[in-house]
Amino acid sequence: MSSTTSSIPTNLNLMFSGGALTLTWPDDHLGWIAQSKAVPLGNSNCWFDILGSQSFTNLTMPVNRTTPQIYYRLRYPF
């Protein structure tokens, strides 16, 4: 991880196109880990790291209409 990696939280930018969701975040957040969960937000213990996401500042995933509630966030790598 670069010494220029920001430790200040940021927003994810979302774009939907052609049946896929693209998440992007600023370049100075390279090293942060994207997480997802597919259960109601009230259960705070069910976030899962998206493997390899700390190596990029964008992710593109196909949308599965049978799982309509998927949430995403970034986690600072402690």
Domain assignment present for 51:
yes
Within-domain flag for 7: no
Residue 28 lies in a domain: yes
Q: What pLDDT score does 69 carry?
A: 83
Torsion of CA 27, 75, 53, 16, to 10 degrees: -80
pLDDT digits (tens, 9 = 90+) for 11-57: 999 999 999 999 999 999 999 999 999 876 666 778 999 999 999 99
Confidence of residue 66 (pLDDT cuts 50, 70, 90): confident
Strand runs labelled E in the chain: 13-17, 20-24, 33-37, 48-49, 58-62, 71-75
Q: Which domain holds residue 36?
A: 13-75
Burial of 53 (0-12, 13-18, 19+ CB in 10 A): buried
For 24-34, the pLDDT digits (tens) are 999 999 999 99
Domain count, the chain: 1
Task: Give the span between the Cα atoms of 72 and 62, in whole angstroms.
Answer: 14
> Has residue 4 been placed in a domain?
no
Given a cut of 60, is residue 1 above it in pLDDT? no
pTM of the model: 0.83
